[in-house]
Structure formats: structure tokens, C-alpha cells
Structure 1
Amino acid sequence: MKDDSTPGQGGFGPAEPMPPQNGGAAYGYPGPQGGYGYPPGPAPGGAYGQDGGYAQPLVSIGDITVTADGIVTPAGKLPLSGATWTVTDMTRTEEKIPTHAIVLAVVFFVFCFLGLLFLLMKERTTAGHVQVAVNSGGRFHSTMIPVHDPLAVHHIMQQVNYARTVCA
């Protein structure tokens, strides 16, 4: 004797419904009729890059992306014309004697003070960030980009200069 409360063959509990076979979507995914918060019918705006989609990015600086038709930020889209770019370098480069050089200087001190030459070894470290800000159309957005290399600062400056030429 079999009733609805007993599990089906090979499992425990009631059997799960099979996904629709007539071209519909699987369970949990929106089908052609919409569902789960999606409006019915085709996706708005058509395919990517057509009818209101975003254009190909020309340069991306932190979370600021410059396209051929505008500047895209998390706060929204800014117009290209009249954009003012500001870059603030807030990095610092420190120079110090590494620990292994001090140890070698102490170990080799007995050889006619030649071990003191190890104290001439220097180690440079760069830390900080670069702030990039854009102001256009009465709107403002700023981003902080962490930097660990002096060449990264130069690269960010080149990206902002390219964005300035695009906006001109």
C-alpha cells in the first residue's frame, strides 16, 4: 500500500517536481514569462552594448571607468564634456637598513671592521595611496588606489592624463 506521505523510490521525503520540458526555465530561474522579480517579456535594453547598454571601456582608474560616451562611477554616469580630473599623490618612500645587514655587520666586525660595510645596505619601501577625483556635470566622485611601487604612481598618472585627453 502506498500513500502520498511515503517517499518515492530512491529517496526520502516527497519527490521533487521535474523542470518543465516545453522550453521553460528550470526551477529557480526566470523563464520567458518572468518571475522572481524579473518583468515579463524580453530583457530590457536588448543585448549588451545596444539600446542603453554600456559602451566599451577606454580606461579604468580604480572604480572610475571612462567610456566613449561618459564616465561611469558607482554613484552614476557623468558626462565627458567639462570633466575636471584631480590626482593627489599620498605615497611615501622610506629607506632603512634591513635586519640581515645589521646581523652580518655584527658577525663580520672582527675582520678589520669590514663588517661595517654591511651597514651601507639600504632597503626602500613605498606605501600609501593615490587619490583620483573627477568632477563633471555638478557631480563629484573620488577613489583611493593603494600603491606599493613608485612605478604604480606613474602608471596612474598616465591613465588620468589619457582620461583628460578623452574628455577634452
Structure 2
Amino acid sequence: MKDGPTPGQGGFGPAEPTPPPDDGAAYGYPGPQGGYGYPAGAGPMGPAGQMGVPGHDGGYAQPLVVIGDITVTADGIVTPAGKMPLSGATWTVTDMSRTEERIPTHAIVLAVVFVFFCFLGLLFLLMKERTTAGHVQVTVNSGGKFHSTMIPVHDPMAVHHIMQQVNYARSVSV
């Protein structure tokens, strides 16, 4: 019982390899490729290997700043929630990190051990250890769309860096 055409030599495919199409390559041959899940010519690497995100005209725009999963380009804001217009965007930053200061365990042990040498061991109690934990929430609202992202921080300078990035994004979205 035959439902369709059969190969010429009784195999499971054509007798000769199929030549690659004009705009790409056949299976197993190099050709234009997109990133995982992207069609050819799209994805994180734009045409000719340039980095960028898709612009309004279908080309690739150079990112001005990337804040978490929010990318600001010259012609818009790209988020997982979709593309937003750049002009008139409202940016909000909430610092939800905390910095704790405590006396480390080794300083307490050294203070106890050296307390009998003219109370010199008590100077070890002046040692402090600072740790930062938490995250910074960045929110953008533009064109009727809203997106929020949480960026983990482990250093007070990281909080400052994120604030500077958002201030730059505010300055270009005027």
C-alpha cells in the first residue's frame, strides 16, 4: 500500500544530497543562524554579528543601558513584558538592601584570650564586619505598560551603580 511518492532507489530519501537553498544552508551545513528560539538573523546577535536588540524599523538598536532585564535603547525600552516607548517613561527605584555591622567571632575569641595582657585584648572588640544583603527593585512605566525587576546586591557600591544607571535612563527618557 503506497500513499505517496517513493524515493527513486528504494531508500528513505533522495539519491543525491539536496543542494542548500539560496538564502541558507541545508541541514548539517553552516548558514545564517539565530539564537536559541530565534529565527535566522534574529536573536541576541544581530546581522553581521553585532550586539543589539530589535529596533522599530526591524534593525538592531545599540543598548544605551541594561538594568536587570530592562534594556534601554535610543528608540525604546525593551522588557520581557514587551517594548515600551522611551519618551515619558516613569522610573522608580526602591532600595530593599540592608547593611549589617557586627563584631566577628575571631575578634571575640582574641579579646578573651588577650584580656589579661593589660586589657589590650579589649581593642579586638573594635573590629567590625559589614555585610550587605537584599535587592534593589527597579520599575518602569510607559505607554500603558508596566515592568518591575529585582536586582540582588551584595555591596553598597552595587546599589549606587544601579541608582546611577536609572538616573541615566531617566535623563534619556525626557
Gap regions ≥5 residues in structure 1: 1-16
Tell whether the 8 Å contact from 1:20 to 1:26 is kept in structure 2 after alignment: no
Q: Determine which of 159, 164, 169 is the counterpart of 1:153.
A: 159
Q: Determine which of 95, 103, 117 is the counterpart of 1:97.
A: 103
1:126 aligns with 2:132: yes
Shift of 1:138: 0.5
2:92 is matched with 86
What is the one-letter code of the residue matched to 2:97? T
Shift of 1:26: 4.7
Tell whether the 8 Å contact from 2:67 to 2:166 is kept in structure 1 after alignment: yes
1:22 aligns with 2:28: no
1:162 aligns with 2:162: no
Shift of 1:22: 3.4
TM-score by length of 1: 0.74
Gap regions ≥5 residues in structure 2: 1-13
The structure-2 alpha-carbon separation of the partners of 1:107 and 1:135, relative to structure 1 and needing over 3 Å to count, comes to same
> Which structure has the larger Rg over C-alpha atoms?
1
- Cα distance in 1 between the residues matched to 2:132 and 2:143: 35
CA offsets, 1:72-130, max 9 Å, x none? 00111000111000000111110000011011111112212111110111111111110
Q: Percent identity at matched positions?
A: 83
- Cα distance in 2 between the residues matched to 1:117 and 1:19: 85
The structure-2 alpha-carbon separation of the partners of 1:165 and 1:38, relative to structure 1 and needing over 3 Å to count, comes to closer
TM-score by length of 2: 0.72
The structure-2 alpha-carbon separation of the partners of 1:136 and 1:18, relative to structure 1 and needing over 3 Å to count, comes to farther
